[in-house]
Amino acid sequence: MASFDDFKATKKGVAVGAILFDHDWQVEMVCLAKHGLPPAQAVGAEILKRVGALNDTEKQHVGRWIRDILATKGFKPISKGARVAAGNLFSRAALYGRIEAGENA
């Protein structure tokens, strides 16, 4: 099993990173988080279209990457396993909430 850092250096990882670090996609992820929907839903279809299918470990790495990005935007995971809209790379993903002042992600 490839580590998270190993995944980021692969061809798939570089392509996923380009999506996740795109400003517009980050705005979409934050918007979904604010409305109680899984942020992974914002990027899943785009990843599937541009990168193709990912195995379960790669999907977990994408989820961790989303978590790290959203932490910089003031969000933390509040629950796991929320259903994601059909036609997406993911079937379930984490929900996020705001990090309160003085709280660590």
Please state, for a pLDDT cut of 70, what percent of the chain lies above it: 95
* Average pLDDT over every residue of 78-103: 90
* Average pLDDT over every residue of 73-91: 93
Residue 105 has pLDDT above 60, yes or no: no
Which residues form the domain of 31? 4-98
Per-residue pLDDT band for 32 (boundaries 50, 70, 90) equals: very high
| Predicted local confidence at residue 94, as pLDDT | 97
Domain membership of residue 105 (yes or no) is no
Yes or no: say if 97 and 35 are a contact pair by the CB < 8 Å rule. Answer: no
Instruction: List, in order, residues 6 or more apart from 70 with CB less than 8 Å away.
Output: 29, 30, 33, 39, 76, 96
Percent of the chain that is helix, strand, coil (3-state, to 5): 55, 15, 30
Domain membership of residue 28 (yes or no) is yes
Per-residue pLDDT band for 42 (boundaries 50, 70, 90) equals: very high
Per-residue pLDDT band for 90 (boundaries 50, 70, 90) equals: very high
Number of domains in the chain: 1
* Average pLDDT over every residue of 78-82: 94
Domain membership of residue 104 (yes or no) is no
| Predicted local confidence at residue 101, as pLDDT | 75
- pTM for the model stands at 0.91
Domain membership of residue 27 (yes or no) is yes
